[in-house]
Amino acid sequence: MKTKKFKKEIRLSGSGGQGLITAGIILARAAVIDKINVTQTQSYGPESRGGASRADVIISNDEFYYPEAVNFDVLLALTQEACDKFAVDLKDEGILIIDNSIVKNTPKMESEIYEHPFTEIARKKLGSELPTNILSLGFLVKITGVVSEHSLKTAVGNSMKPQFKDMNMKALKLGIKLAEVDIKNNGA
């Protein structure tokens, strides 16, 4: 079925506590369900408690070796600091996704840029900022197609504690819907 080789380097970035490493693990789990090779790494340290935090996910149907993302195909930035720090390493044909309720200075670059106030949407529509990570992950997957939507849903469902499952499934749907609107508007 999949004959063409592909390799996607994805970096999810923001600040500690935004759930980006959790989102990275869930994305990697979805890739496992899709039966494609995946490696997930993270910055692990004091910065994961407040400072800049990142999770890297590399997904490929071919073998690859180096585990950290170097030139990103997709960059999700949920803080200005993360956006400023990592946008330079985004490929020209890459995709930048930012939370414009937090990231006020959008970098000027060749890459495709998607902006939504993910945190605000989560707060207003779900009553909590907690599922911002899943909301933006849903958006990212719908836009990029790095894993199948079905596998992502299964991975989110399997990864959440019962009391948070509902909220996160809603967040996921919301993110996907947001992307569908963008895709339609872009006439893709």
Partner 1 sequence: MAKNETKTKSVLMQGNEAIARGALAAGVNFFAGYPITPSTEIAEICSVEMPKMGRKFIQMEDEISSMAAIVGASLAGAKSMTATSGPGFSLMAEGMGYAKMVEAPCVVVNVMRGGPSTGLPTKPSQADIMQARWGTHGDAPSITLYPNSVMESYELAIRAVNLAEKYRTCVTLLSDEVLGHMRERIEIPNLKTIKVVDRVKPTIPPEWYKHYPENPKYPMPLASFGEGYRFHVTGLAHDAKGFPTNKASETAVMMERLRNKIRHNIDDIIQIESFMMEDAKIAIFAAGITSRAAKEAVLMARKKGIRVGMLRPLTIWPFPDEAIKKYLCDKKAIIVPELNEGQLSKAMKRVMGAIWSYELRKSKNIIGLNKNNGELINPEEILKVIKEVK
Instruction: Give the whole-angstrom CA distance, residue 99 versus residue 114.
Output: 9
Residue among 65 and 162 whose Cβ is closer to partner 1: 65
Helix axes 20-33, 132-144, angle to 10 degrees: 40
3-state SS, residue 36: coil
Taking the complex as a whole, the smallest distance from the CB of residue 5 to partner 1 amounts, in Å, to 13
Residue among 2 and 177 whose Cβ is closer to partner 1: 2
Residue among 39 and 106 whose Cβ is closer to partner 1: 39
Taking the complex as a whole, the smallest distance from the CB of residue 185 to partner 1 amounts, in Å, to 34
Binding region for partner 1 (CB under 8 A) = 25, 28-29, 31-32, 35-42, 44-46, 64-68, 70
- Residues 55-88, buried b or exposed e (16+ Cβ, 10 A)? bbbbbbbeeeeeeebeebbbbbbbbbbbbeebbe
Taking the complex as a whole, the smallest distance from the CB of residue 45 to partner 1 amounts, in Å, to 4
Taking the complex as a whole, the smallest distance from the CB of residue 162 to partner 1 amounts, in Å, to 19
Residue among 59 and 179 whose Cβ is closer to partner 1: 59
Contact indicator for 94, 75 with CB cutoff of 8 Å: yes
